Structures are given as structure tokens and as C-alpha cells.
Amino acid sequence: MHTRAYEGQCAAEEKRHRTPVGNPRLALFALALGTFAIGTGEFGSNGIIQLFAVDLDVSIPVATHAITAYAFGVVVGSPAITLLAARVNRRTLLLGLVVLFLAGNVLSALAPDIALLVVFRFVTGSVQGAFFGAGAVVAAYVYGPGKGGKAFATVMGGLTLATIAGSPLGTFIGQHAGWRAMYWTVVAIGLLAGVALVAWLPRTDDLHGSPVRNELHGLRRLNVWLMVTVAALGISSIFAVYTFIGPFVTDAARQDAALIPIALAVFGLGMAVGNHLGGRVADRSEHRGLTWGYGGVLALLALIGVAGENLLILLPCLFGVGATMMFAIPTIQVRLTGFAPDAPTLMGALNLAALNLANSLGALGGAVTLEAGWGTLSTVWAGFVLTSAGLLLYVVTVARPSVPVRHDGVTT
């Protein structure tokens, strides 16, 4: 049943997957390099908030508007771009998105005040979801039929690598050469990605888009919106942990701040491992990636909440939270696209939009528990509640077997 549900994701690609791809590995590397550049810019911005706040003479709360604007760009701008470019060849769309990404980061590096920086970060954020959506379609074409989960995991791989290497590198450069240098570094990586995409992405009519009505039709399906809600609720626990890793290390575990980058890297490694394994499971099972991922993260969140003050427990759990939650994300993509097989690019954009909503929910939930005075580790219980809600919603609605309907004595 799962195979039939997902085969819709790239129904067009499966039907027309006939043109040989020059070098599949290089094509996939180019896509991952693109998402690495995007992830470095996104996560690196979090590490330089204090720097551009001082330089632009604003408070930290005001400076965070630039981060919020980026997320808003993903949630609103990416689906809009995807719909406007519905008929465009996916290769052409990806190259156009790289140009927009480069422009957004160049302007961010040159921003003279916080107001313009907020605008430029919104523009840059609008690229992310559309790039992931189109990239997933191209990766599925390169891999061939029946490997949509693995394809999406490949595209996500660049983003997970950015949490391990790109973000720390960007933050380091920003601290030593100024916050603007961080964005110039992202521009350099983006240029390399653009060259790789031009050189290695397949040139074929098989990757032409479809009428915008096909994409819009996917928005009329209830299961699509249920899955978006399941993703936004469930994935929020990543950010109820990732956002507060610094206080976990220094306040709860009472360790030196020098260990924070190590804890972040451990979390990022978990994300990379979970993403790789989750891509394989998503193509083989309809529900396991999500149910196992959400279930596993709930157990780990409870362990952190109870015993996270011990560093020897905290670090493995951070790895586990990153791994189990990323284990679920390829399945979310496969299920989304299975529900709307005629709109795979838009489903990818919606998936990324859901992740950014999860970012806000997780951070907000954690802030509520901290303000209530429940302690540093209390943020994981906010994540526990949100992920539990997401898992429950999935089990009761999306995962529930369809009831056979009889028409004139024939069961369908």
C-alpha cells in the first residue's frame, strides 16, 4: 500500500524516467551543495545575531526580527514562488533560485540598517522551500522510481551537514572578520553550488513543470494539511532542544561554555545519521519512519527531562533526538507527495514551511516553560507535549486505514 501511495510522488518522473543522467553522483552532490549553502546561511545567521545587533545599533530582540523574517520567507515566499513557477523546468527553476539566493545574501552583507536586513532575509528565506521541493523532484528523477524518500534525504543531507560544519564555520568567520563576512562566505559557497548545478544537473524536458492548477489541486486535499500539521507539531521538539542547547550545557549540566559547539556538533551528527536512515525506511514502509521517529524522540525527551543534568546522559540524548526526529522527515515528505502526486514541488515547499513553523513552536514552547520558572531542562517537556500531539493526530487521522466503500455491491 505504501509503494502505491508513494509511486504518485513522481508519477511523471516514473513514467518518463528514460533520459540517462550523465553522472548521477555529481548531480546529487550539486543538489546537496546547494542545500548546504542554504543551511549555512540560515543557521549561521543565528550565530551572529549579537554581532549585527551591535553594528546596526539595535537590541537583541529587534535583531531577531531578521531571523524571524527568514522563517516567514520560507513559510510564505517559498510556496508562492513554487506556484508562480509551476510550469518552469525544475533545472531552470533551481538555477533561478540560486540567483535569488545569491542576491539575497549579497544584499544582506551590504544592509545599512536592520529594516533592510529584515527585508533581505525574507527574500533569501523565500528560496529555501522552493529549492528543496524542486531539488527533491530532480533527485527522484536521478535516482529513478521508488526512491523518493532516499532522494529527499539526499537533498536534506546538505542541510544537516550545515548544522555540523557550515554553521560553526560561518559563525567563526563572523566573529573574527565581522558579521558581513559570514554572508560573503555564504555567497561564495552559493556560487560554487550554482556552478555545480549548471555543470551536473540533467538537461531534459522530462523535468518540465506542470500547470499551476495541478499544484493548487494538491492544496484541496485534507490529508495534505493534516500531514503539514503533524510535521509542524511533531518536529517542534527538535527546536525545543536545539534552541536551548547552550543553557542545557552551562546551566543544567554545569559545564564550561566551550562544550557548547561540541554539543551542537553531536546533535548535528545525529541529524545526519537519522536523515540517511530515514530516507531508506521511507521508501519501504508507509508509517514506520514517522511512528518510530516520533516515538523514539519522546522517550529521549523524557530521559533528558529527568536526567539531563548529567553530561554523560545529555550528550548521547542530544545525538538521539537529532537522529530520531530526522528519521521521520523523509517519511513526511513521501506521505505528503503521495497525497498530492501531481504537486511534488509544492509538497516539498510545504514540508520546509512546516519545519519552520516547528522552529517557532518549539522555541515558543520552550520560552513559555522557562518563563514559568520550571527550570532549564523544562523546554524538553514543551517538545514532548507538541510531538505527542503530532503523533496522536497522525495515528488517529492520516495513519488510520481507509474504510472500504461499496458501490452497487462492489467493494472499492
Q: Give residue-wise pLDDT tens across range 14-72.
A: 444 445 556 888 999 999 999 999 999 988 887 787 788 889 998 877 887 888 888 88
Q: What is the mean pLDDT of residues 388-405?
A: 77
Distance separating alpha carbons of residues 311 and 299, to the nearest angstrom: 17
| Cβ 137 vs Cβ 13: under 8 Å | yes
Phi/psi of residue 204, each to 5°?
-155, 145
- Model confidence band, residue 355 (pLDDT cutoffs 50, 70, 90): confident
User: Residue by residue, what is the 3-state secondary structure of 182-242?
Assistant: HHHHHHHHHHHHHHHHHHHCCCCHHHCCCCHHHHHHHCCCHHHHHHHHHHHHHCHHHHHHH
Phi/psi of residue 406, each to 5°?
-100, 130
Q: What is the mean pLDDT of residues 317-334?
A: 92
Q: Helix or strand or coil: residue 254?
A: coil
Q: Is the dihedral of CA 211, 214, 217, 219 positive or negative?
A: negative
Topology of domain 214-400 in CATH is Growth Hormone; Chain: A; (1.20.1250)
pLDDT tens readout for residues 221-241:
888 999 999 999 999 988 888
Bridge partners of residue 84, in order along the sequence: none
Compute the CA torsion angle 197, 202, 207, 208 (nearest 10 deg): 80
Q: What is the CATH number of domain 1-209?
A: 1.20.1250.20
What count of other Cβ atoms lies within 10 Å of the Cβ of residue 199?
Answer: 12
- Model confidence band, residue 211 (pLDDT cutoffs 50, 70, 90): confident
Amino acid at 289: G
Amino acid at 358: A
Mean pLDDT, the chain, integer:
84
Domain edges within the chain? 1-209, 214-400
Phi/psi of residue 407, each to 5°?
-125, 115
Q: Which helix (H) or strand (E) holds 171?
A: helix 167-177
Same fold, 1-209 and 214-400: yes
Name the grid cell of 61. 530582540
pTM of the model: 0.77
Give the model's pLDDT for residue 36: 95
- What contacts 403, CB < 8 A, 6 or more positions away? none
Residue 1: is its pLDDT beyond 50? Answer: no
